[in-house]
């Protein structure tokens, strides 16, 4: 039986394997070195400063009129608790005598039964006729008495007893009775005329509290009437805005500042400043003004298609204030920290410039010093503005981008 012997790799094969390994590693290293040396190298360029792209707007010095904005409430300029001046049964109502009904001055609203008042007029007429007849008789008797007295006391001087003899007191009494009857007739005629109730001015019925057949007295309020020729708007504005508005002269020689009122429905009507009220608001300590709005319902102009102004509506008010000359008007949002603006300089850098603000509200600011016509105001918000940082207008950047694209297309062709 033969024992197996272990298999041994000859030494020369091991040496050959080692030499082959070294050749492969050395060849890879030399190839990598060759590719690294022969690879193209990027050109070194100087770093380019990135310019912030901003929106700009050119500014111009000129004349502008400031506008004071406020909120207000529509009020009636004339409001009347409509009452009867005589008592009686309501026998007639105008068809339009309902809430919202509109009437011209002198239009009939309702009528009270005039029968009793006609009878009273006839009675007073009879009393006046009787008093006039009594006066005529007394005048005739006085003529007779005067002739008798003349015959009896011829040549003597008139004394105190002559007035009785000449029936002077009786004549005065008859004249007084006639005058009293005439006054009573006039009063009865007035009461009869007052059974027809008419509007004292151009009015709209706000509410009505009387019905046909009701017996009314002079103490009852039959309706509430509101004048349609004019409404008032009471608005509140800061006290420091008063110097910018114009109030009408006490004698009416000048009118107040023009005003535009916009209702909650978006309809606008024009008016003028009427009065400055004598006290401030108790809550906000704001000044209060009254604004006159003529023809708030659009009744005079048949072509007026705007919705009527409604009482108690909460409206926005724009009062035209004083005129400013040689100023620059900019959006309020471009005013930084209240006293500075950002300007794109001709050199393409940011100029943080101080300005003098003469007027500002929520929307605009008026600059009298610090900006000139032709300056390009930056309206874009910058995260970290630094004086002198490079900026480019968006329009210029887009033009450059478009020109670069066209050049690339020509090169590709």
Residue 175's pLDDT band (boundaries 50, 70, 90)? confident
Residue 47 in this model has a pLDDT that exceeds 70: no
Residue 125: strand pairing partners: none
CB of 174 within 8 A of CB of 138? yes
The answer on pLDDT for 6 being more than 60 is no
Segment 55-96, tens digit of pLDDT: 999 999 999 999 999 999 999 999 999 999 999 999 999 999
Cα gap 332→318, rounded to integer Å: 17
The DSSP code sequence of 307-339 is PPPPTT-EEEEEEEEEEEEEEEEEEGGG-BTTT
Q: What is the pLDDT of residue 121?
A: 95
CB 34 within 8 A of CB 299: no
What is the largest distance, in Å, between two alpha-carbon atoms of the chain?
214
Q: Tell me the average pLDDT of the chain.
A: 85
The stretch 386-404 carries a mean pLDDT of 71
Residues 252-273: what's their mean pLDDT? Answer: 91
- Each residue of 271-286: pLDDT tens digit? 999 999 989 988 878 9
- Return the minimum-mean-pLDDT range out of 82-96, 291-305, 356-370, 390-404: 390-404
pLDDT at 107 over 50: yes
Confidence of residue 51 (pLDDT cuts 50, 70, 90): confident
Place of tokens 């009869």: 192
Between the alpha carbon of residue 376 and those of residues 20, 248, 291, 325, 339, the distances in Å are: 76, 41, 40, 20, 17
Q: What is the pLDDT of residue 303?
A: 73
- Is the confidence at residue 408, as pLDDT, over 80? no
pLDDT at 406: 52
Res 209: pLDDT: 94
| 8 A C-beta contact, residue 324 and residue 366 | yes
Question: At 101, is the secondary structure helix, strand, or coil?
Answer: coil
User: Given pLDDT bands bounded at 50, 70 and 90, which one contains residue 135?
Assistant: confident
Tell me the percentage of the chain whose pLDDT exceeds 90: 58
Q: Residue 137 — pLDDT band, cuts 50, 70, 90?
A: confident
Answer whether residue 257 shows pLDDT above 50.
yes
Q: Which fold has domain 82-113+197-228?
A: OB fold (Dihydrolipoamide Acetyltransferase, E2P) (2.40.50)
Residue 2: pLDDT band by 50, 70, 90 thresholds? Answer: very low
Mean pLDDT along residues 238-254? 87
Is 296's pLDDT higher than 90? yes
CATH architecture of 67-77+231-322: Beta Barrel (2.40)
Does position 375 have pLDDT exceeding 70, yes or no? yes
Mean pLDDT is lowest, of 24-38, 97-111, 134-148, 394-408, for 394-408
Please state which architecture CATH assigns to domain 53-64+325-401: Beta Barrel (2.40)
Looking at per-residue pLDDT, the higher value among 282 and 189 belongs to 189
pLDDT at 413: 53
The better pLDDT of the pair 21, 319 is held by: 319
Distance, in Å, from the CA atom of 266 to the CA atom of 289, rounded to the nearest integer, reads: 22
Q: Supply the pLDDT for residue 174.
A: 83
| 265: number of Cβ within 10 Å | 12
Position 145 scores a pLDDT of 63
* Lowest pLDDT segment from 136-140, 264-268, 351-355, 398-402: 398-402
- Which residue would you say has higher pLDDT here, 197 or 41? 197
**pLDDT classification of 223: cutoffs 50, 70, 90:** very high
- Residue range 195-207: mean pLDDT, rounded: 96
Query: Cα separation of 76 and 228, whole Å?
Result: 8
């Amino acid at each position: 039986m033969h024992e197996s012997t272990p298999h041994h790799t000859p030494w020369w094969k091991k040496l050959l394997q080692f030499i082959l390994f070294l050749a492969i590693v050395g060849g890879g290293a030399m190839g990598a070195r060759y590719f690294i040396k022969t690879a193209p190298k990027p050109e070194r360029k100087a770093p380019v400063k990135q310019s912030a792209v901003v929106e700009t707007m050119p500014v111009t010095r000129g004349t502008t009129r400031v506008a004071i904005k406020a909120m207000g409430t529509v009020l009636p300029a004339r409001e009347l608790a409509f009452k009867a001046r005589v008592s009686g049964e309501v026998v007639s109502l105008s068809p339009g005598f309902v809430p919202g009904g509109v009437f011209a001055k002198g239009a009939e609203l309702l009528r009270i039964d005039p029968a009793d008042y006609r009878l009273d007029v006839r009675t007073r007429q009879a009393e006046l006729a009787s008093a006039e007849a009594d006066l005529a008789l007394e005048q005739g008797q006085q003529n007779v008495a005067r002739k008798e007295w003349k015959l009896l006391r011829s040549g003597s001087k008139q004394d105190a007893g002559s007035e009785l003899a000449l029936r002077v007191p009786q004549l005065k009494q008859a004249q007084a009775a006639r005058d009293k009857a005439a006054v009573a007739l006039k009063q009865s005629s007035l009461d009869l005329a007052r059974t027809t109730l008419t509007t004292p001015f151009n009015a709209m019925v706000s509410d009505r509290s009387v019905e046909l057949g009701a017996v009314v007295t002079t103490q009852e309020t039959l309706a509430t009437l509101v004048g349609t020729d004019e409404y008032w708007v009471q608005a509140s504005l800061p006290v420091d805005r008063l110097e910018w508005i114009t109030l009408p002269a006490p004698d009416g020689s000048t009118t107040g500042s023009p005003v535009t009122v916009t209702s909650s429905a978006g309809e606008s009507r024009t008016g003028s400043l009427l009065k400055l009220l004598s006290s401030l608001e108790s809550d906000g300590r704001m000044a209060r003004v009254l604004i006159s709005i003529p023809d708030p319902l659009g009744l005079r102009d048949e072509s007026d298609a705007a919705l009527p102004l409604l009482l108690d509506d909460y409206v926005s008010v724009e009062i035209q204030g004083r005129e400013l000359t040689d100023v620059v008007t900019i959006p309020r949002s471009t005013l930084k920290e209240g006293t500075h603006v950002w300007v794109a300089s001709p050199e393409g850098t940011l100029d943080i410039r101080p300005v003098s603000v003469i007027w500002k509200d929520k929307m605009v600011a008026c600059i009298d010093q610090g900006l000139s016509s032709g300056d390009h105001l930056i309206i874009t918000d910058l995260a970290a503005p630094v004086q002198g940082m490079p900026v480019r207008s968006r329009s210029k950047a887009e033009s450059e981008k478009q020109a670069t694209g066209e050049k690339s297309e020509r090169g590709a062709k």
